[in-house]
Chain A
Amino acid sequence: MSTINVNAPTKAKGFPLPSSLKVVPGTEQAQAAYPYYIQFTKEDDERFWFYNSMHFPEPMCVFDMITAEAAYCALGSANTRIHCLPTTLGIDCRIINGRVYIGGNGVTDPAEIARRTEEFKRRAFYYYANWERLFAQWKDKMMGLIRSAEALPKLELPEFEPLEHVHAGRGIASNHYILETYQKTIEGYFRMWHHHFEFLLLGYGAYLTFFDFCKKAFPEISDQTVARMVAGLEAEIFRPDDELRRLAKCAIELGVDKEFREGKSPDEIIKSLQKSGESGQSWLRELAVARDPWFNINVGDGFYHYHRSWNDDLSMPFAALPGYIENARRGERLERQTDKLMAERKQLIADYRELLETEEERAAYDQMIQLAHRVFPYVEGHKFYCEHWYTNLFFNKIREFGALLAKHGFFPSAEEVFHLTHYELESAIVDLMMSWSNGSAPRGPERWPAIVRERKAGIAEWAKHETPPALGPVPDIIDDPASLMLWGITRENLDRWLKAGEQPNSNEIKGVAASNGVVEGVARVVKAAEEIDRLHHGDILVCQVTNPSWAPVFQKIAAAVSDIGGSMSHAAIVAREYGLPAVVGTGTATQKIKDGQRIRVDGGRGVVTLLE
């Protein structure tokens, strides 16, 4: 790894200025492909930016940047225009060398804060007061959106329009529907992100209110303990893993469990089940039930087109089945023991309550935990619908466009479509529409392959370089609830980042203490879902994100370490359920830890130690 050369002056107690960050030589064209409005300019030196490694840990293909655009559009609207958060507007976003930097737009004028506070109470308080009704309505809206995305037509450009269309007098040719479908696909994705942020900040806000109280009353309480008091256990995001456990039990009941062995591919298993009579067929029917919709969960956080879903790649869920089956054979109860976990949560809340010193504090504590419990289920529940289910539909639809264009010679394979921006993709579609209509060859095949090659090379090059965690002058006060809630940006964290640059040779990696316990073992650095069958019993999983789709591997690992995530991340919640030590949000674990290296994970302190 080499660090991008930073040679321009930096301000005192600050990070490098954006203007000092240079595009890696030879990748200028790839950098220029990103839309003009997310390129850094000279004026950006005046502001503070941080690298959003949490959501965008890898260089971004130009198409995938649509996620940043759509998400920040919706986040900003919710904060600035809908709920009117008193001290913050939206988030600005820039990209350089494929790395996404973001910066909050604070409100500092006291009169303006006061004016927005009044608006906020009329809006946000209404949401809190009517939470259950609005949330029920949200689910309907979201399901409606999913259904309409599923209903988008297949992309077809037949040689001749079907006779029935002609006889019906449709009068509109297929090429028009290609464009319409594309525009609906893009529109739906932007709309989905509005749904995503409708409740999110308010939900986090109620959680943070309780969190803030706990940190004041118990200055040394761990983040994970507060998280355990608030986290729910019934969210949809647990369902995919629950379904796998059900399928494992089902395999035993049907007597087809011996088909599931480590090292056997999903295809081989399915083929032999198809041949194994009624019981094999029954299991496959159960699989089909589970897949729709619960396998619409992707192996990342939904922000990269190549984080495919379980449905698209069965290797992740199938790799977990032998372990679950083995556990069930040993007589272990496979179902998550939610009653027991709920009872533990209740006890934890009661025990901390007892430690408070006055009845007054206990009454305030009760009010805050009640609000957090009412509103937090949204924060946990939305992810399955937004980042997983809808996002899979979206990227797969774009893939269909890629396949169509590839078929017409625009590029060698469908996947290359993600190296066009969403504007460029629309232009390529119009190019194809014209060519199909007039019978001439499209122009795209001459244009895009070279550009795509250049951009792919850019991504590959950028991935070799580290990028500063933040840019520009550090603000004296960080008073932006959105940055705090979503990225954990606090003055203390920034100071830690500033210091981190000074001591690069430590054998310790610090992260978020996510689940208590200390374990030593062999690190298995897993960069892609296909690699999960490399995990052996007792290994320590080291990966970029441990998102919900990774839950099934927790049955065989001894501890988990990730680059990204907080104490409320799904990985943290699952690790606590399994009683495994976990350190998340390390930023660099997958780069610093070598596959096979012995490491110690201290989940109570959030420290990973390299032992050799």
Chain B
Amino acid sequence: MKSSDTIGWFADIGLSDRLAVGGKGGSLGELTRESIPVPPGFVVCTSAFERFLSALEREEPIRSRVEALSGHELEKITPLSQQLRKRLENTPLPEEVNSEILAALTELCGANSNPPLAVRSSATTEDAADASFAGLQDTYLWVIGAEATLRAVRSCWASLYSVPSIVYRRNHGMPESAVSMAVVVQGMVNAQKAGVMFTRSPLTGDRSVVTIEAAWGLGSAIVSGEVTPDRFVVAKITGEISVREISDKHIQHVPAPGGGIGEMETPEDLRRVPCLNDDEIVALKELARRIERHYGRPQDIEWAIDQAGQILLLQSRPETVWSSKERAPVAKPAEDPLQHVMKIFGGRR
């Protein structure tokens, strides 16, 4: 496994390689290097995208045409988006890029083997914008076979030119030359259950708890809001589980027979039972803590538990809502420490 300009294996990359591998790819690299279990994979780097785009630009301009529009010109953006996406999806890849990706796929999957893969957009924008912008690009789950994988990579790239994505960039005045995209290709977890977790409370901002949301099947059902997950709050340090809200998890996302994701009804006997046991909750909490420690700031994490019961991390990004809030200190040191007791005895708390 050797990384190159085109391919970055998780073990070789980190957040400092953001410009080449995008936020998602960099983060998966960081986690892999921290020995946190992540499904194995590689990133098709931005340089591959750039080479592909340059080839396309030589035939007909792309970036300048996008940049010429403003965010409210929907009547112009829509046809341009359709046209650009078609070009990206249909034009053959540069030969080198094509063969490097195929070689990496053989390396990842082994010869003559077609395990399911996840193909995910990994944009290069900054942290704060990441959460909202990242959601605008595509992710393809349960992709089977080299041909489908290559198609998914190009679809990810093409999703950079979706209508909402262009509108977002134009509204935020982002220069098109700075917009690039890497694509993550990694093993797909056949999750028996999956979810998200935050290393602080989304309700109160409390940094001493981890909030976990979980449901049966693949995590996509939670992320897309199609199922109300179970919710657990666990104390980071003591492991106390202070909240257990068990919801009716009526559906779950499962692999579809021919590839991709399907939806199925959750069996009656599983719908209203907790999908995580206490050991799993505490193990997830421990992983969350390790990741937060590594990054030195609160994280928003996606995870899955495979059929063998192993926890795998799918994504970690900085929490942005509470972290960007200004907050007055709870208390300042007092010259006479006894003054603190006046908070209790002094009245009008």
A residues neighboring B (CB under 8 Å): 85-87, 113, 117, 120, 124-125, 128-129, 205-206, 208-209, 212-213, 216-222, 224-225, 228, 348, 351-352, 355, 357-358, 360-361, 363-368, 370-371, 477, 479, 481, 513, 516, 518, 602, 604-605
The 10 closest A-B pairs by CB, nearest first: A363-B333, A367-B337, A364-B331, A87-B347, A219-B204, A218-B208, A516-B240, A220-B206, A351-B237, A604-B240
The CA of A302 and the CA of B139, in the complex, are separated in Å by 67
* Contact A120 B340, beta carbon cutoff 8 Å: no
- Provided the pairs A216-B330, A367-B334 are in contact, do residues A221 and B340 lie with their beta carbons within 8 angstroms? no
Contact of B208 with A355 in the complex, beta carbons under 8 Å: yes
Within 8 Å of chain A (Cβ to Cβ): is B2?
Answer: no
Pick from B236, B241, B332, B345: contact of A481, CB below 8 A.
B345
Query: In the complex the two chains form, is A128's CB within 8 Å of B208's CB?
Result: no
A358 CB contacts on chain B under 8 angstroms:
329
Task: Specify which chain B residues have a CB less than 8 angstroms from the CB of A208 in the assembled complex.
Answer: 344
299-349 of chain B: CB within 8 A of chain A: 327, 329-334, 337-338, 340-349
Interface residues of B in 204-241 (CB under 8 A from A): 204-209, 233, 235-241
Known: A113-B347, A351-B237. A209 touches B340 (CB 8 A): yes
8 Å CB contacts to A: which residues of B238-273? 238-244
- The answer to whether A220 and B233 have CB atoms under 8 Å apart is yes
Tell me which residues from 22 to 51 in chain B have a Cβ below 8 Å from any Cβ of chain A.
Answer: none
CA distance A128 to B342 in the complex (A): 13
Complex CA gap A59/B159 in Å reads: 74
Chain A residues near B206: list those with CB within 8 A.
218-221
Q: Which residue of A lies closest to B239 (CB)?
A: A516
Q: In the complex the two chains form, is A361's CB within 8 Å of B329's CB?
A: yes
Interface of A is mostly: helix
A205, B330: Cβ atoms closer than 8 Å? no
Docked-complex contact B337 and A371, CB < 8 angstroms: yes
- Determine whether the beta carbon of B242 is less than 8 Å from that of A117: no
Cβ-defined contact, A120 with B343, below 8 A:
no
Q: Given the complex of chains A and B, what is the CA–CA distance between A365 and B340 in angstroms?
A: 10
B57 within 8 A of A: no
B278 proximal to A (CB < 8 A):
yes
Interface string of B286-305 (1 = CB under 8 A from A): 00000000000000000000
**B78 part of interface (Cβ distance < 8 Å):** no
- Of A125, A355, A366, most B-chain CB atoms within 10 Å: A355
- Contacting pair A371 B340 (CB below 8 A): yes
Bound complex: CA A252 to CA B262 (Å): 66
Instruction: Check A218 against B207 for contact (C-beta < 8 Å).
Output: yes
A605 to B242, CA, bound (A): 5
**Contact partners of A129 in chain B: CB under 8 A:** 338
Q: Tell me how far the C-beta of A490 lies from the nearest C-beta in chain B, rounded to whole angstroms.
A: 10
Contact, CB under 8 Å: A128 / B341: yes
Q: Which residues of A have CB within 8 Å of B330?
A: 213, 216-217, 361, 364
Bound state CA distance, A597 and B331, in angstroms? Answer: 47
- Max chain A C-beta neighbours (<10 A), residue from B201, B331, B345, B346: B345
Whether A209 pairs with B344 at a CB distance below 8 angstroms is yes
**In this complex, what residue of B is CB-closest to A605?**
B242
Residues in chain B near residue A124, CB distance under 8 A = 341, 345
In the complex the two chains form, is B242's CB within 8 Å of A87's CB?
A: no
CB distance from A103 to the nearest CB of B (A): 18
Task: Please tell me if the beta carbons of B241 and A604 are within 8 angstroms of each other in the complex.
Answer: yes
Do B338 and A128 touch across chains, with their CB atoms under 8 A apart? yes
User: What A residues does B331 contact at CB under 8 A?
Assistant: 213, 216, 361, 364-365, 368
- Contact A348/B237 with A220-B242, A360-B329 known, Cβ cut-off 8 Å: yes
Complex CA–CA separation, A429 to B240 (angstroms): 57
Residues of A within 8 A of B201 (CB): 219-220
Q: Of residues B237, B330, B343, which shows the largest number of chain A Cβ atoms within 10 Å of its Cβ?
A: B330
Contacts A87-B347, A128-B341, A218-B207 known; 7 new A-B pairs at CB < 8 A: A85-B345, A212-B344, A361-B332, A364-B334, A364-B340, A481-B344, A602-B244
In the complex, are the beta carbons of B208 and A206 less than 8 A apart?
no
Min CB distance, B203 to chain A, in Å?
Answer: 8
Min distance, Cβ B278 to any Cβ of chain A, angstroms? 7
B338 & A125 in contact (Cβ 8 Å cutoff): yes
Q: Contact: A225 with B240, CB < 8 Å?
A: yes
| Min distance, Cβ A235 to any Cβ of chain B, angstroms | 22
Which residue of A is nearest B241, CB measured? A604
B244 proximity list for chain A (CB < 8 A) = 602, 605
A87 to B344, CA, bound (A): 10
Nearest to A479 among chain B residues (CB) is B347
Chain B 103-133: CB-based contact to A (< 8 A → 1; otherwise 0): 0000000000000000000000000000000
Contacts of B346 in A (CB 8 A): 86-87, 117
Give, as a whole number of angstroms, the nearest-CB distance from B280 to chain A: 14
Instruction: Say yes or no: B204 contacts A357, CB within 8 Å.
Output: no
